[in-house]
Structure 1
């Protein structure tokens, strides 16, 4: 349920995000009649899509270091 709340947050509050792979599964945490395997697949699919969004928004350590060095260089020119 927590992952679905994160999905809803990204869709409504942040905007521009789609969770198409999860949507194609057509499953909800409230559907207790569905199999455990279906729910596992949904959890892993949604987790993967959320992780991909977070990873895309956060630059790598090397990119952050380069950006910080540029900021420091610009401060030195003032």
Structure 2
């Protein structure tokens, strides 16, 4: 599965009407969801803008620092285990 297909399938999942309900009862990691949306938007912005402009746009939109956006986009995430 390529990046575009995985982005489309996950986009369909997060647009599901049940997602807000799951968020309300705490079953969705809000920060992980926000970070995923930032990554999706970054890939869309990069089609028309330079890297720095895309990061600054996201920084303004989400009220996060440039470094925070940069970390979300480029630093590997440590996945937490349930065990």
Smaller-chain TM-score range? 0.3 to 0.5
**Larger Rg computed on CA atoms:** 1
TM (norm. structure 2) is 0.34
Instruction: Report 1 or 2 for greater relative contact order, CA contacts < 8 Å, sequence distance ≥ 6.
Output: 1
Point out the structure with the larger helix share.
1
TM (norm. structure 1) is 0.36
